[in-house]
């Protein structure tokens, strides 16, 4: 069985954003087809459309947790929402403890909104040296949750 982290990395290497790669690696197992995941998460890469805000791998993971626990058919939507919030807070705390920031611009050390920032990112190959490992790391974090998620469905 191929790991979801391997699938996420493969998608990333095909040119999908960090958010798309994480979301689409997990979505089909949680009931949402790959194409829908790719479309839904398209604007969230590079800290939301190159704004350098929250890391796209993290936003992809938050979408996955919503798919897993945020189902609309639940009789108690507040309970489901609180479960997603709690798990998201755990992810963000874990990530920040390991990387000191949740923000793409801080993780990369440049501003992708500018030509200079995009030039720096390309010269330093940040796409491969920073982003790809973060996609894998976040996907591995999610992999530990998915078996429990499926058994709860």
Q: What is the pLDDT along the chain (153 residues), one digit of tens a residue?
A: 689 999 999 999 999 999 999 999 999 999 999 999 999 999 999 999 999 999 999 999 999 999 988 876 667 778 888 889 999 999 999 999 999 999 999 999 999 999 999 999 999 999 999 999 999 999 999 998 876 444 344
If you search the block for the tokens 């390991």, which residue do you land on?
Answer: 98
Alpha-carbon span 29 to 119, nearest angstrom: 37
Please tell me the pTM assigned to this model: 0.91
Query: What is the SS3 assignment for 146?
Result: helix
């Amino acid at each position: 069985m191929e790991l979801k982290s391997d699938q996420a990395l493969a998608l990333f290497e095909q040119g999908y954003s960090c958010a798309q790669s994480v979301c689409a690696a997990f979505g089909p197992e949680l009931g949402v087809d790959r194409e829908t995941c790719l479309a839904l998460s398209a604007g969230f890469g590079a800290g939301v459309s190159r704004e350098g805000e929250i890391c796209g791998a993290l936003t992809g993971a938050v979408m996955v947790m919503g798919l897993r626990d945020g189902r609309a058919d639940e009789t108690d939507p507040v309970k489901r929402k609180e479960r997603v919030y709690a798990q998201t807070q755990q992810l963000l705390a874990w990530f920040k403890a390991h990387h000191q920031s949740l923000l793409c611009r801080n993780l990369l050390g440049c501003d992708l909104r500018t030509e200079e920032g995009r030039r720096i990112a390309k010269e330093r190959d940040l796409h491969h040296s920073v982003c790809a490992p973060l996609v894998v790391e976040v996907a591995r974090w999610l992999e530990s949750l998915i078996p429990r998620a499926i058994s709860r469905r």
